[in-house]
Homo-oligomer: A and B are copies of this chain.
Amino acid sequence: MSTSALAANTRPWRSAIVYLLMLAGTVIGFLVVRHYGESLQTSIALPAIAGTKVGVAHRNEALLHVLLALVAVIVTGRLLGQVFRYLGQPPVIGEVIAGILLGPSLLGQIFPEFAGYLLPQSVAPTLGVIAQLGVILYMFVVGLELDPESLRERGHSTVAISHASIVVPFLLGSILALFLYPRLAEPHVPFTVFALFLGAAMSVTAFPVLARILTDRGISRTPLGVVALTCAATDDATAWCLLAFVVGVAQAKVQASFLVLVWTAAYIAAMFLVCRPLLRRWVNSLGDRPTTPGVMAAVFVGLLASALITEAIGIHAIFGAFALGAIFPHDSSLAKDLIRKLEDTVTVLLLPAFFAFTGMRTQIGLVSGMENWMWCGLIIAIATIGKFGGTLVAARVTGLNWREASSLGILMNTRGLMELIVLNIGLDLQIISPTVFAMMVIMAVVTTIATTPIFQHINRGATTEPLA
C-alpha cells in the first residue's frame, strides 16, 4: 500500500467544496424525502407498549449512577486512604469508610437529595452484581498469591486455630443473644435463629480486608501472614457453611443445610484431588509462553464455573474463585501473568463498587441513645474477646509463642466487609433489626481499625521476614 496516497491531501480546496456540497445536498435531500413521506400512512396497528420509555431511561441511568458511584467512591476512598495511611492505618480502611460515608449514614443525612441522585436505591442490585464480580476476581488473585506448599506444612495447626477462632466467638455471640434478643430482636424471629445468626456473624473474619491489610503492610508472604490468611480463609468457609445452616433453619429447611455441608466437602475434595493435578498438568504444558487470549478465556471460564458451583451449593461464589486461585500452580508464569493483569484493575476499579454497595446499605444513624451505644460497645467487646481470645489460646496450644499467637489473634479480629455481607443477609431475611445491623457494622469497622495499632504494639521491635 502506498502510504503517501493516504497521507497526502493534495487538493484541499476540492475536498472542501465536495464537503460543503455534500452537507447541503443531505439537508435538501432529506427535506425532499420528508415532503413525500409526510403524507404516508402506516398500514399496521400494533398496540403501544406502556412503560418502555421508562425502561430506556432506567437502563441509561443505571450506567450513569454506577459510573458516578465508582468515581465518588474511588476518589473519596483514595483521599481517605491517604489520611488513614498518615495515621498509620492501612489505606483500605479509607475505602471502607468512604463507602459508608457516601451512603445513608453521612451523605444521606446531610444532603439527602444529592445522595439519592448519586446512589439511588434502584441501582443497588446492579452495583451489587458488579461488586460481587469484583470480589470474585479479587479473591481469585488472593488465592493465586497463596503458597499452597507453605499451607500444607502447617495445615494441621492452621485448621485447629481457625476452628477455635470460630467456636469461641460463636458461643459468646449466642450467649450475647440471650441479652440482645428481648431488647432488639424482631418479634417474629425465633430465638434459635437469632442466636445462631449472631454466633455466625461474630465468627466471621474478613478475608479480603485481612488480605489487603497484609498486602498493604507487605507481610502477606511472611509465615504469620500466610497462617493468618489461611485461618481467615478457613474461617470464612466455615462461617459461610454456618450461615447457610442458619439460613436453612430460618427457612425451616434443616435437611437442605446439611446438604450444603456435604456438597461443600465434595467440592473441596474434587478441587484438590481432581482439578489440582489436571490444572498443574495443563499449566506445565503451556510452559513459559506468553498468555494467549485463548488461555485467558479458559482460565476465566474455569473461574466462573468454580464460582458458579459454590454459589449453587449455597456458600458464596467468592469461595469458588478463591479455591481455584489456591489450587493454581502459584509459581507458574501463567499465575504471575494473571496476577499482573488482574490485580490493579480489580483492586482499583472493581473493588470500590463493593465498598460503595456496602456503604449504601448501612445506616449508622439508627444507633442512638446511651443504652444503644452501650449495647454496641458490648457487641464490640464480646466480638473481640471471642475472636482474639479464641485464636490466642488455640495458637498457644498448637505451639506458637505469645507474640505470634497474639498477633494472629488481633489479625483474625479483622471483620471488615465480609461481616457486612453476612449482616446484609441477616437484615434481608429479617433475622436482625436495622438497629442491630448498624451496631454490628460499627463493630466490624472498629475491630478492623483496631487491628493495625494493636498489631504494631504487639510486634514493636520485631522484624517480620518474608517467607521466600
Mark A residues whose CB is within 8 Å of B.
Answer: 1-3, 5-12, 14-15, 18-19, 22-23, 25-26, 29-30, 33-34, 36-38, 40-46, 48-49, 52-53, 55-56, 58-60, 62-64, 66-68, 70-71, 74-75, 78, 125-126, 128-130, 132-133, 153-154, 156-157, 159-160, 163-164, 167, 170-171, 174-175, 177-178, 181-189, 191-192, 194-196, 199, 222-224, 227, 291, 293-294, 296-297, 300-301, 304-305, 307-308, 311-312, 317, 340-342, 344-345, 347-349, 394, 397-401, 403-404, 425, 428-430, 433, 462-465, 467
* A349 smallest CB distance to B (angstroms): 5
- Given pairs A26-B170, A41-B182, A293-B348, 10 additional interface contacts (CB within 8 A): A5-B399, A7-B153, A7-B223, A22-B167, A44-B184, A46-B433, A62-B125, A62-B129, A64-B308, A130-B133
Q: Is the CB of B188 within 8 A of A48?
A: yes
Residues in B neighbouring A307, C-beta threshold 8 A: 67
The reply to whether B1 and A464 form a contact with Cβ atoms under 8 Å apart is: yes
Residues of B within 8 Å of A317, CB to CB, are 63-64, 67
Q: Verify A433–B44 contact, CB threshold 8 A.
A: yes
The secondary structure that dominates the A interface is helix
Do B304 and A53 touch (CB < 8 A)? no
Task: From known contacts A36-B178, A156-B12, A430-B49, infer whether A187 and B42 are also in contact, taking CB-CB under 8 Å.
Answer: yes
Interfacial chain B residues near A9, Cβ < 8 Å: 154, 156-157, 398-399
Q: How far is the CA of A67 from the CA of B136 in the complex (A)?
A: 10
Q: List 22 A-B contacts (CB under 8 A).
A: A1-B222, A3-B223, A5-B399, A6-B154, A6-B157, A15-B397, A19-B159, A23-B167, A26-B170, A30-B174, A33-B175, A42-B185, A42-B189, A52-B428, A59-B129, A70-B304, A74-B301, A74-B304, A291-B344, A293-B347, A341-B344, A342-B345
Which has the most chain B C-beta neighbours within 10 Å: A291, A317, A399, A463?
Answer: A399
**Complex contacts, A304 vs chain B, CB 8 Å:** 67, 70-71, 74
Query: Given the interface contacts A9-B398, A23-B167, A48-B430, does A75 sit within 8 Å of B33 by beta carbon?
Result: no
Chain B contacts for A8, CB-based, 8 A:
399
Q: Whole-angstrom distance from the CB of A337 to the nearest CB of chain B?
A: 9
Complex contacts, A305 vs chain B, CB 8 Å = 71
- The answer for the CA separation of A163 and B19 in the assembled complex, in Å, is 8
Which 9 interchain pairs have the tightest Cβ spacing? A37-B191, A56-B428, A296-B348, A6-B223, A29-B171, A42-B185, A26-B167, A33-B174, A15-B160
The answer to whether A133 and B74 touch across the interface, beta carbons within 8 angstroms, is no
Is B58 within 8 A of A187, CB to CB?
A: no
Q: Which residue of B lies closest to A178 (CB)?
A: B37
Write out the residue numbers on chain B whose beta carbons fall within 8 Å of the beta carbon of A192: 34, 37-38
Q: Contacts of A224 on B, CB cut-off 8 Å?
A: 1, 6
Q: Kindly report which residue of chain B lies nearest to residue A132, judged by CB atoms.
A: B63
Contact between chains at B58 and A125 (CB < 8 Å): yes
Cα-based distance from A205 to B349 in the complex (angstroms): 29
Residue in B129, B194, B293 whose beta carbon sits within 8 Å of that of A126 in the complex: B129
How many copies of this chain does the complex contain? 2
Q: Which residues of the other chain, B, contact A153 by a CB distance below 8 angstroms? A: 7
Name the distance in Å between A147's Cβ and chain B's nearest Cβ. Answer: 12
Contacts of A182 in B (CB 8 A): 40-43
Chain B residues within 8 Å of A308, by CB: 64, 67-68, 71
Q: Which of B64, B125, B156, B344 contacts A15 (CB 8 A)?
A: B156
Which of chain B's residues have a CB closer than 8 A to the CB of A125? 58-59, 62, 126
A131, B126: Cα distance in complex, Å? 12
Candidates B5, B178, B296, B462; contact of A345 at CB < 8 Å:
B296
Residues from chain B with Cβ under 8 Å of A394 in the complex: 18, 22
Give every chain B residue within 8 A of A430 (Cβ-Cβ): 48-49, 52-53
CB-CB under 8 A from A223, the residues of chain B are 1, 3, 6-7
Chain B residues with CB under 8 A of A196:
30
Complex-state Cα separation, A116 to B218, whole angstroms: 47
A133 to B50 CA separation, bound complex (whole angstroms): 28
Contact yes or no, A129 B348, CB < 8 A? no
